[in-house]
Amino acid sequence: MCREVWSASSSRPLVRVPTSSAKGIMPANSPRPRATGSTRVLARGSWHETQRITAALRTETVGGALLLLAALAALVWANTPWRESYAALRDLHVGPSALHLDLSVGHWAADGLLAIFFFVAGIELKHEFTRGDLSDLRKATVPVAAACAGVVLPALIFLGVGMIGGGDGDVLRGWAIPTATDIAFALAVLAVIGTHLPSALRSFLLTLAVVDDLIAITIIAVAYTESLQALALLGALVPLAAFAVATRRGWTSPWLLIPLALLTWGLVHASGVHATVAGVLLGLVTPVDVGHRLEHVVRPVSAGVAVPLFAFFAAGVTVVGGGFGQAVTDPAAQGVVAGLVLGKFVGILGATWLLARFTRAELDSDLAWADIAGLSLLAGIGFTVSLLVGELAYGAGSDRDDHVKMAVLLGSLLAAVLASVVLRSRNRHYARVAEREAEDLDLDGVPDVYEHEGVHTPGEDTTDGTCRLDEGRRTRP
């Protein structure tokens, strides 16, 4: 048996509580239902989606810690008397030359291991566009606009700084370096400063990163493909199609999928398009339900092995001996720092504010503009994709590539420090929000705030079998 609490302004129940509750009403300290008459920016999502995002971000947080350790280890090694051994390891060539895969270890990390990272990104993109926030135009407008502004403005700032600094065409090739956000690095920073973002902000950060990844892989495929072998690219469609058919039929044996994925990767690599594009394509052709199962297996490998190893071989730049002084005077490095710290902040915060201003939408009552400002600064942490684009723009191991690597590290550090100052000032508020988001007074396995706001996932069963919410209709087992 369940007793229902009804809204005075609506014909549907706001929450169902067991009859064992005192008089069947909500306790006085429960969150109040919100008015539904106005549009809210960054409103809390469904409980089901929140659980999915929390699980994904938990893995990325651990991966972010490993990423930081790997980058730090590379920096230390590259600035010791044994720095030559680091360079020798990074530049060691392995692989079958007959297949044109006699690549350096650093190249394998960038082209091979990051393909795993982009496969997970492809799965995430597929989910977001079919079942996530990006499938709903109203919910997608703000994060998509913010992500696009957070790409365009850093690129424009980079180009402006490069031209003002007298940079030539070679300098301007790196315009896309400050456009990416590294969510694993950002989450690691949040873990270090002990900040637990509300679920709406976590969802916004993840959606920003997903759109960022889509734009980044498009830029890599279009802007940094110097020569195209059409036959090899067309040939890649065959194993890609076979991979799509296999996953649609539920054939998920690694003995089938891994060879098809490797063949797709090899042909994309041979085509001249950056091989990481193969990872995104494989993720996009995977059905969402199968993608969720594969993601549980592949995401820990991506976050815990692939990305940290790439960071280890990409972040080892020599700062001692004048390297830092040369980087400071390089207009490419200056543009990267300005783009990451200023461009991301102004782009994301400005786009979100403008959308709210001109659509007359209200920021969710659990959030303040200081939260959006902090998140916008946090998005200035660009690492994995920024380092990759730097290598593509200037050539791995070149002096300018080393300069922009230092700039990416410095810009990301500045963004992290500024974001920490802003977000830590809101920690008490976040703790209160987190307490409300975990409160389950009716003991049905779904925190009450998700039921009170009418965002309980339709048809989602409760754990105690008493009752469930199904798009506002009363149902009983």
Q: Are 378 and 419 in contact (CB under 8 A)?
A: yes
Res 458: pLDDT: 39
Across all residues in the chain, what is the average pLDDT? 79
d(CA 382, CA 340): 7
Q: What is the dihedral of CA 333, 336, 341, 345, to 10 degrees?
A: 160
DSSP character at residue 215: H
Q: Hey, how many other C-beta atoms are within 10 angstroms of the C-beta on 51?
A: 13
142 pLDDT above the threshold of 60: yes
d(CA 61, CA 65): 6
d(CA 442, CA 20): 9
Q: Which residue has the higher pLDDT, 448 or 93?
A: 93
Work out the angle between the directed axes of helices 369-378 and 344-359 (0-180°, nearest 10).
Answer: 150
87-109: string of b/e by CB count within 10 Å (b at 16+)?
eeebeeeeeeeeeebebbbbbbb
Q: Which residues contact 286 (CB under 8 A, 6 or more apart)?
A: 122, 123, 126, 243, 244, 247, 294
Res 341: pLDDT: 94
Among 396, 383, 358, 311, CA closest to 77: 311
The stretches of 165-253 forming alpha helices (DSSP H) are 169-172, 183-193, 199-223, 230-248
Residue 399 corresponds to which amino acid?
Answer: D
Both structure tokens of 258 = 């891994």
Res 38: pLDDT: 54
Helix, strand or coil for residue 14? strand
- Tell me the β-bridge partners of 15: 5
Res 377: pLDDT: 93
d(CA 178, CA 189): 18
Helix, strand or coil for residue 104? strand
Res 90: pLDDT: 86
d(CA 133, CA 204): 9
Q: Are 449 and 437 in contact (CB under 8 A)?
A: yes
Burial class (CB in 10 A: 0-12, 13-18, 19+), 42: buried
Q: What is the dihedral of CA 185, 191, 197, 201, to 10 degrees?
A: 10
62 pLDDT above the threshold of 90: no
Res 56: pLDDT: 66
- Considering 33-47, 213-227, 232-246, 307-321, the range whose residues carry the highest mean pLDDT is 232-246
Q: Are 100 and 272 in contact (CB under 8 A)?
A: no
Res 265: pLDDT: 93
d(CA 36, CA 54): 26
How would residue 194 be classed by pLDDT, with cut points 50, 70 and 90? low
DSSP character at residue 109: I
List pLDDT tens digits, range 111-125.
Answer: 889 899 889 888 988
Res 1: pLDDT: 44
pLDDT-wise least confident of 104-113, 128-137, 297-306: 128-137
Burial class (CB in 10 A: 0-12, 13-18, 19+), 322: exposed
Q: Are 73 and 312 in contact (CB under 8 A)?
A: yes
Both structure tokens of 415 = 């963004």
Instruction: Please give the distance of CA 78 from its chain centroid, rounded to a whole number.
Output: 28
Q: What is the dihedral of CA 450, 145, 409, 299, to 10 degrees?
A: 50
Helix, strand or coil for residue 229? coil
Q: How many CA atoms lie within 13 A of 421 on its CB side?
A: 6
How would residue 470 be classed by pLDDT, with cut points 50, 70 and 90? very low
List pLDDT tens digits, range 411-425.
Answer: 999 999 999 999 888
21 pLDDT above the threshold of 50: no
Q: Which residues contact 135 (CB under 8 A, 6 or more apart)?
A: 128, 129
Span 147-171, average pLDDT: 87
pLDDT-wise least confident of 51-55, 172-176, 247-251, 305-309: 51-55
Both structure tokens of 360 = 């007359």
Helix, strand or coil for residue 460? coil
List pLDDT tens digits, range 374-406.
Answer: 999 999 988 888 888 888 888 877 888 888 988
Q: State the SS3 of 429-455.
A: HHHHHHHHHHCCCCCCCCCHHHHHCCC
Span 462-474, average pLDDT: 38
Res 5: pLDDT: 43
Span 10-36, average pLDDT: 43
Both structure tokens of 26 = 């909500």
